[in-house]
Structure formats: structure tokens, C-alpha cells
Amino acid sequence: MKTFALAGNPNSGKTTLFNALTGATAHVGNWPGVTVEQRKGVYRNKKAGIEANITDLPGIYSLSPYTPEEVISRNFILDEHPDAIINIVDVTNLERNLYLTTQLLEMDVPVIVALNMMDALEKQGSSVNAEELSKKLGVPVVEISALKNEHIEALMKEAMKLPEKRKGETVLTDGWLGDLVKEATAIYSKEEGIIHPLFHAIKALENDEIEAKANKSAFAEVSKLIETKGKTVDELEAASADGRYQVITETFATSLSKKEKAASEKLTYSDKVDKVLTNRWVGIPIFLVLLYILFRITFAENLFFADFGIGTFDEGGVFEGLFYAEGHLMSLGKILANFVECVTDWFTGVVAGWMEGAGAWQSFVCDGILGGIFAVMGFLPQILLLFFFFSILEDTGYMARVAFILDRAFRRFGLSGRAIIPMIMGFGCSVPAMVNTRTLSSEKEKIQTIRVVPFFVCSAKLPIVAAVGAALGDAFGIDPALTALVAYFGGVLIGFISAIVMHLTTQREKVPPFIMELPAYHMPQAKALGIHVWDKAKHSFKKLFTIIFVSTVIIWAMLYFRFDWQILGEEETAEYSILGVLGSVFSPIFTPLGWGTQLVATVNGQTMNMGWAFAVSALNGLVAKENAIATFATIANSIGAGIADDVDGALSFSYLVQACGSSLSVGALYSFIFFNVLTIPCFAAVATAKAELPKGTLKWTILFWLGVSYVVSCMVYTSVTFIWPIAIWAVLIIGGGVGIYFYNKHRVAIDGPLNA
């Protein structure tokens, strides 16, 4: 099969086209750097009898080695020898996108240009003469709309017709620069093994670093040639860029007919919206309000803060507890979770009936296996719903604005927009977010970014936030949506503060430049949203029936047996089980956090220490964060919550909170959230961090996660519960800030300013 490489600018619709061609579940993003590695798929059209391999390259603006993405794309084309390049061009920004096209055309490889976003161009009242542009470029040009899946088949049919070979051509043909290009190309043509002499010759004239190392002898000859002509490297680089843009503007761009706009139409719809959403004063508050609304739709027990007397319309209360409770309407996420809970409760009851009288085996299946799995499954509707909302924000282009707002706000503190992008990806999953740090320009920036990525609440931590939020609502009347907002925003805030401190101390370096393109707002594609949600659902079910399944079975066994492998007696509480004893060893460590040895619960008339339960759930969460709530469900069942009425994770946690009574405070519950959000992430994320971090830095990273989570959780517990420690923490924070200020001032005198 032929292999086609997709190359284009960030936000040109390249990855959207890849999904349309291959049907793959590759992530579609609206900011540069989402496509870190090459994505591969197969295009199949049975009607036309076409089959081809498709490789999606990172979004780039040029083939100069300024960023890791540009190096990846360039090396693939030069070293992997694709049969052709499909150059995706955003037709609404034709002149800027064609700069990359002029460089691709200098390679000895067939090229076809896909003019994407034709639907957006037509909305502007503009048009393009594709046939005329094709003649000027010397390669086929096809009009498409990747978002609407229009003319994709026509593009591939034309691509299959491309010849096997094509000689590179350049637009740099005039004047002294054109003469230099000819002479430099002649030098490279004499060298053996150089397949793209024109491309390499121009890169040598531009003093390209990679070219200098790859073809030393030819590069040296070109350098001598430049000296004999009396030219400098800076002159050549400027002349090359100017020459390209001059041809693009005067020759290629004339194929585009733009509608003349009146003064009132100069600002596009996106520009007008951005005046509000990216405003330096209201941009971040708007983002926080939007998050709170999404959290209410996902988690709230009382969606509209009001009692509508819904029960009067539901005679007999058929739908009470499903759609409404105590007269108020539940949120969409809660309604969906209730449906799942009804099904899981029914199924568990049926299984318990079948196994009645089976003793330990009934407990093993219902309490251990089903209790643990269903505890996490109960949160799946809310996880998918929130992920669906985040996908909408991303696909509309809003998340790119969030990255821009945060870059502008935090650049003065040493955080670049390129580092903020993987952090935002951490809301989905820490693993791809850490992989995405490969686009960062330095090791220090990469280290500090990987260390703070887990602080952004991923979907695996959502069951913890939801369960604790529900318990806070039941026991203390605190809005679950507010708890979610505190967890999400708190994680972001701690992440940024940690990154700033590292930037000013252990990871000092100048802030690298960052170019961010804000795509036009557009309606999200239903197919793309479906792919995102389905991919997340598959990932969640895979974890449910592998890692979480094994963990819940082990937890059940450790709760059911003592260390002598004898089954617990009827008079013995879970404290005497293997898990209880091990948890009791670790629980004193968490006493300063509010959920250690001070927790005492009364269950069925028996009083027992419950700090061990919180300790083992937090430790089990290191395997997979969902395990924390699954552990609580298994423990709740084992100590008397009942099989039929308590397999739900949120109910299990609320049961234990109520059993602990006054020994468990609001501050302790928020402390539990922050510890699990900030501490060592799941094993998969730790393995990814090990692969991505420089050698020898993983152990310090793990200590960093432990230290930050412990200190912040202790601060939250003591400040919320006792109030007066706030003064002590304030003095310590101010003292630390003053120390960092003077340390940084001393280093600036030696190294120079970081933000120059």
C-alpha cells in the first residue's frame, strides 16, 4: 500500500482529516502540540478499491528546526520516504499556510494540497480558484471540508494518481538569492546519498543546525560560497523568508477572492466573542463560572437550588430518588448515575438470591467482586458526561482560549504557554499529558511540567471528588458542585504555585518563546464527540475488569481473613482483619491530615477505629485512583452496610462518614480530597513519568508529590477545622516567599533575568 503523510499548520484541520480518513480514535485538539507522535491509520474505500496507509505528522509552521514538532515532521519525510505528502492548508488563512507549502515543494516527493475549511470560506462570502492555484503551485489542489467530511474521497482519488517521483522546485529563483540557490544545489547534487539536493541546499544557505551536522562537507562548501558572495547568514535567512512571502502574496494568494468587508464587519464572530472570553480581567472568572455550571449539571443533588414540589406530579413517588428527591430536580449526571445504581442494585440482589446460603462465596461475589466494580461503575455516567462537556469546550476552540488566558496570566511568573498545554490535557488523563511534554523545549521545563500534571484532576480521580462531595452534601449541606470546583481549581492553583516555585529555585531558566494560534469558534462535530466519549468508556471498562477487578478481590480477601488465614469471627470487627491491621499501621501517618487514628465509627452497636479504612483506600488508590472508592464500597459492605442497599460508591462513603460522626470534620474530608488529588498518581502515570523524565529525577519527583500532597492536606485540615492555624501557615508561606524572592534576586545578579 502507498503511504501518505499529512502535513500542515496547527489548527488547519489536519488531525480531523486523519480521523475522517482512518476512522481512528486519535485525539482532535485545537492547540499546537496535541499530535506529539506520528499517528498511523489505514484509509479504505471499498467502492473505489483504494487502500492506503496514513501518517499524521505534528502541526508545524515551517520545516526549520525551531521546535520538536518540526524536527519530527521533517525527519519523517526525509528518512521514512512516504509515497506522497498531503499538505492540509487552512484556506481562510491561505497566505500564512502556504509558507510551509513552499518548503514542502522543495523536496523530491509528490505533493497534493488539500484546501481545507471551504465551508468557512464560503460563509465569509469569499472563494478560491483551485484550478488556477494548482497551475501556479505545480501540484494538484483539492477543495475539502474535513469537519463536514466533504470531498474526502475526491482528495484520495487524486492522491492515488500522483506519480511515483517528483523533482523539487523552489520559489526562490530571482536575483542574487536565486543564483546562490542554483549554485548551492549544484554542490549538493554532486554528493552521494543526498535524495533532496534542493531542499538541503536551501537549508544550508539558511544556516540550518540539523543540516550542518547531517551533511558536513557539502554544508562547508556552501558556507564558503556564501563568504565569496559577500553575504551573511542573517541576510540569507531574511531574504529567504521575504522571498517566500513575496511570491505567496503576489502570485499564489491572487487565486483567492475575498469579499470586501464594511468597517462594521472587520471583526469576525470569533473576534467579537474573544473580546469578552479572553479579556484580561474577566477571562478567568468566566472560566470558573463555566466550570461551576458544568459541575452542577454533573454532580448536583438539587440542580436549581429550589423545591418545585415535583412529587405532586408523581403520584405514589414512582420516580422519586431517580429524577427528584424531596421536591427538587436532580442534575443530569445524578439522574444517569441513579439509573446505573438501580441496575447494579437489581443485579446484585438477583445474584445474592441465587447464592443465598453460600456463606463466604456469596460475600466474595457480592461484596468483593460486584461491590468493588459497581462502586466505580456508578460514577461512570458522571465521568463520561463531564468528559463530554470538556470535549465540547475543546472542539469549539474554547480550551485554546483557556491556554491563552493562563499563558498571559502566568508568563510573568515563568510559565510558558507550551508548558500549560500538557497541564490542561491532565484534566483528561495524566498519561498522554506527560507524553505531550516531549514538545517542550528544555529538560527543566519538562521536569516541572510532569511534576504538576497530576495536580489537574483527571477522570480517574473524579469518583473520589464525587463521593466526598456527596458525603459533604449529606452530612454538612455543602453543594457537591462547589466541592468539585474547589478540587479542580485547588489542584490547578497548587500546580501553578509549585511550577512557579520550581522555576525560581531548582529549575531556573529563561522562559522560552511561545506562539499560540486561536482557531475560529465552530460547532463541535457529533462524530468526533462520540469518538472521544466512546474511547473514554472503553478505557474505563478495561480498567474496571482488569486492575479494579483484581484489586477489589484482594481487598475483600484481606478484609475477610485474619493474619492466621482464619475467617473473622462474628464478634470480631474488620479492624482485626489483614487489611485492618495493615491499615492501622499506616493510619497514624495520616492523623495530622484529619483522617488517621482520631476516626472512631459506631456500626451496628460496635465501636471501632476507622482511620485504617481511609489509610488503605488512599494507598490502594496508588494502583488506580478509582480503587479508593471501590475499597470503601467493599469495606462498607463487610462491616454491615448490607449487600442489597449499598453497592454504590458514593453511598458507601457517605455511610462511613455518618458512622464516624463528629470525629470526621469538613476539613478532614477536604484534606482527603487534596491528598488523593496531589499525591503520587496511578502506576501507569508513574511509569510514563519514568520514561519521559531525565535519568535520576523520578525519585525526587515521587518525593515532591508526597511532600506537596501531605503539606497541603495538613494545611487544609488544620485551617478549616481549627481556624487559628491559618496565622501560622500564613507566616510560613510569607517567610518562604520572602526567602525565594531574595534567592531569586541573588541568582538574577549572577545569571541575568529569567523573563528577558
Predicted confidence (pLDDT) per residue in 723-739, tens digit: 999 999 999 999 999 99
More confident residue, 16 or 322: 16
Find, among 227, 219, 179, 214, the residue nearest to 201 by Cα. 219
Q: Which of 207-211, 223-227, 261-265, 704-708 has the lowest mean pLDDT?
A: 261-265
Q: Please work out, in degrees rounded to the nearest 5, the angle formed at the alpha carbon of residue 188 by the alpha carbons of 184 and 193.
A: 165
C-alpha cell at 607: 465501636
Could you tell me which of 726, 722, 705, 365 has the C-alpha nearest to residue 560?
Answer: 365
Q: Which residue has the cell 454538612?
A: 476
Question: Is the distance from CB of 88 to CB of 114 less than 8 angstroms?
Answer: yes
Q: Is 192 exposed, middle or buried (0-12, 13-18, 19+ CB in 10 A)?
A: exposed
Count the residues in the chain.
Answer: 756
Q: Which residue's C-alpha cell is 467482586?
A: 369
Q: What are phi and psi of 415, to 5 degrees?
A: -105, 125
Residue 645 pLDDT: 44
Angle CA(110)–CA(113)–CA(117) in degrees, nearest 5? 160
Which helix (H) or strand (E) covers residue 143, if one does? Answer: strand 141-143
β-strand 39-45 against 111-116: which pairing, if any? unpaired
Percentage of the chain beyond pLDDT 90 is 25
**Higher pLDDT, residue 643 or 258:** 258
Residue type for position 647: V
Q: Are 85 and 52 in contact (CB under 8 A)?
A: no
> How far apart, in Å, do the first and last CA atoms of the chain sit?
51
Alpha helices for 248-281 (secondary structure H) = 269-277
Question: Which residues are registered as beta bridge partners of 257?
Answer: 127
3-class SS shares of the chain: helix, strand, coil, % to 5: 65, 10, 30
Q: 398: which 3 cell numbers?
A: 474554547
Distance CA 492, CA 449 (A): 12
* Residue 378 φ then ψ, to 5°: -65, -25
Mean pLDDT of 239-244: 89
pLDDT, one tens digit per residue, over 605-625 is 778 788 888 998 888 888 778
Which is it for strands 328-329 and 324-325: parallel, antiparallel or unpaired? antiparallel
Instruction: State the DSSP H helix or E strand holding residue 489, giving kind and residue range, or none if neither.
Output: helix 480-504
Instruction: Name the E strands within 212-319.
Output: 256-257
What SS3 class is residue 478?
A: coil
* Cβ neighbours, 10 Å, residue 341: 22
Whole-number Å distance between alpha carbons of 290 and 276: 14
Mean pLDDT across 115-136: 90
Q: Average of pLDDT values for 550-577?
A: 75
Which residues are 44's β-sheet partners? 51
What is the gyration radius of the CA atoms in the chain, in angstroms? 30
For the segment 532-552, the average pLDDT, to the nearest whole number, is 75
C-alpha cell at 657: 462518614
CA distance 632 to 121: 55
Question: Quick one: three-class SS letters along 405-428?
Answer: HHHHHHHHHCCCHHHHHHHHHCCC
With CA atoms as reference, report the closest residue to 617 among 576, 586, 660: 586
Burial annotation 645-665 (CB, 10 A radius, 16+ → b, else e): ebbbbbbbbbbbbebbeebbb
Structural contact between residues 433 and 426, judged by C-beta atoms closer than 8 angstroms = yes
Looking at residue 254, the DSSP 8-state letter turns out to be: G
Angle, alpha carbons 724-726-730 (nearest 5°): 140
Distances (CA, A) of 472 to 80, 475, 482, 523, 653: 57, 5, 10, 37, 10
Which position has the higher pLDDT, 530 or 253?
253
Q: By the 8 A CB rule, do 112 and 155 touch?
A: yes
Question: Average of pLDDT values for 482-494?
Answer: 91
Task: Please identify which residue in the block is written with the cell numbers 482519488.
Answer: 157
Handedness of CA 329, 333, 336, 341 (dihedral sign): negative
Q: What are the strands, taking DSSP E only, across 488-605?
A: 600-603
Cα distance between residue 366 and residue 219, in whole Å: 72
Q: Give the DSSP letter string of 349-392.
A: HHHHHHTTT-THHHHIIIIIIIHHHHHHHTTHHHHHHHHHHHHH
pTM comes to: 0.69
Query: DSSP secondary-structure letter at 144?
Result: -
Q: Any residues with CB less than 8 A from the CB of 220 and at least 6 apart, and which?
A: none
Which pLDDT value is given to residue 152? 92
Angle (nearest 5°) at CA 256 between 254 and 258? 110
Show the CA angle centred on residue 301, arms to residues 298 and 305, nearest 5°. Answer: 105
pLDDT of residue 516: 65
- pLDDT above 80 (res 669): yes
Is a pLDDT exceeding 90 seen at residue 559? no
C-alpha cell at 311: 412529587
Which helix (H) or strand (E) segment holds residue 112: the answer is strand 111-116
Task: Say what the pLDDT of residue 706 is.
Answer: 95
Q: How confident is the model at residue 753 (pLDDT cuts 50, 70, 90)?
A: low
Which pLDDT score is estimated for 35? 42
Q: Are 656 and 635 in contact (CB under 8 A)?
A: yes
pLDDT tens, 176-224?
889 999 999 999 998 888 889 999 999 999 888 888 888 889 999 988 9
Residue showing cell 522555576:
503
Report strand pairing: 256-257 vs 328-329. unpaired
Q: How confident is the model at residue 27 (pLDDT cuts 50, 70, 90)?
A: very low
CB atoms within 10 A of CB 223: 15
List CB contacts of 291: < 8 A, sequence separation 6 or more. Answer: 485, 488, 489
260/428 Cα distance (integer angstroms): 42
Write the pLDDT tens digit of every residue in 321-360. Answer: 677 776 678 888 888 888 888 888 888 888 888 888 776 7
Nearest Cα neighbor of 441 from 449, 429, 433 is: 449
pLDDT (average), residues 588-617: 86
Alpha-carbon distances of 331 from 328, 334, 385, rounded to whole Å: 10, 5, 11
**Mean pLDDT (whole number) for 401-407:** 79
**Whether the predicted pLDDT of 50 surpasses 80:** yes
Give the residue from 353, 482, 434 showing the smallest Cα distance to 686: 434
